[in-house]
Chains A and B, each alone.
Chain A
Amino acid sequence: MKKTYFLLIAAAVAFGCGKKDKFMYGQVATQPIMNPDLKSILKDNVILNSVLDSSGVIHGLTDKNAFSTSDQFQSFNHSGYSISNALTPYTYDKNTVIVATGTVLTPIVHYSQDYGFTWDSIAPVLTPAVNSGGYYETDLSVYYINKQNFAMVYVLKSATNIHKKLIYKVNIATKQGTLVNSWQDFYIPMSVKFTNDTIAYMLIYRSSVNGTYISKTTNGGSLWSAPLYFDTKNLSVMQVADKGNLCVYEPNSYATYSTDSGAHWRQSAYSSNFNTLQMVSPSLSFALTNNGLVKSSDTGKTWNAVQGTGVDFNSMKHIYFNTDQKGLIYTDQQMYMTSDGGATWKTLLYPYPYIISN
């Protein structure tokens, strides 16, 4: 009998033991939501831009990689790139990305026509060269014109407030930059948008006067219309849709719309300010506000909240809708996709520990 008790005591010692780092719930089947290989485009990366094309392929650019996926990141392609000390903001137009580095007077323009997978870098030869003597500051912006050309816009700021503007049209193949226009006045360009080879809009402001003006060219930039004052607030972001529909807004403020190529404007507001806004088509716009996603189907006349689940709208920075149903919403290391107009969102990219850990 004593032996039996001894065995039971030994059993009791064993009872109460087990591996401290193994748990019953660990036996339940789990599967990573995201492909762990996405570490290559998320860890230490910041998403700069992403679009969803009509065939459902997502293209995007981080500060270190270009990526694309046709199956919502179950598999994906990516290619690293290195562009440091950007002189200008990245400019996007469909599959084209343009950014300049170097110095203002001797810039290197990096140009990609496949969403950033491959880049060409050119040192444009500007004729005549820019002479910044006598000006206290020189700013440079680069804009897409077409597959063969891009525009370089210089603003030479003067203490007299009469600033000099130079627009060069640079041929990618020859690397030659031809001066299209040069003029001096009180205005400073904020944004330029070419809709085709000849038509472009220039959003401008006047330093001594609060408000926003717009100017238009119909001959490729050699002649611009007189600046039209259309809003009392300085608005910096311009979007152009078909048939002369324009939208201009300022982050954390309201928007204003034109349906006649900028001749007449109508302010558009929601109960919360717009943080970012996308004009999907002449009538359709989506915007992120502090109170979530909102949608307008009447060229910004009225806005309605989109009650969506699966994403924290307040932490998002960018939206891109392809249609009124399909769109992306994203920020530095997160991306979500909707296929039902924003009602539900699927997580595509997220910095889960197993994604960004070493």
Chain B
Amino acid sequence: MGENGVNISPKDPRYSEIVEFLIQEAELLDHGRFSEWLELMTEDIYYRMPVRVNRSRSSGPDYTEKTEIFSENRASLGMRVKRLGTDFAWSESPPSRTRHLITNVRVRATANPKELEALSYFLVYRNRTNSSSADILSGERQDLMRKTEEAWRLAGRTILLDQVVVGSRNLSIFF
């Protein structure tokens, strides 16, 4: 993922704008402000999570887009958010407690001057019900950021978790 392109300098104002965006976004996710989270997205957003596979290095990438846990657009993300707002979203009722820790941000130019590629690592902590143990999900995101008239918006996100067998009963949270 995202091996091409040159990182823009952290001193470039666009770098801090993107970091600021990602941190604000994490705040919305961790505080259950999902409708506001949706507002950060462009109308044509894609939101994908391919599965990981165990393969030798010579056999190709260790993930596959043939199977995806998420392959969403704006409308389907909207439906997921609406669902969470009902009293029947049992997987999030009461809600999970999450922390999205976003690090190792790299921002790269793309062919489109209005768009940047933002790569980041995440560590998502998820705790539910009365268990003291938690799901700890790490991985990386490859985001496509677009500067609109209002502000930076998320135009695309591909998420790679670091587990083939995902250690969580479901993924009713967002990344």
Chain A complexes with chain B: no
Q: Give the B-binding residues of A (Cβ under 8 A).
A: none
Q: Give the A-binding residues of B (Cβ under 8 A).
A: none
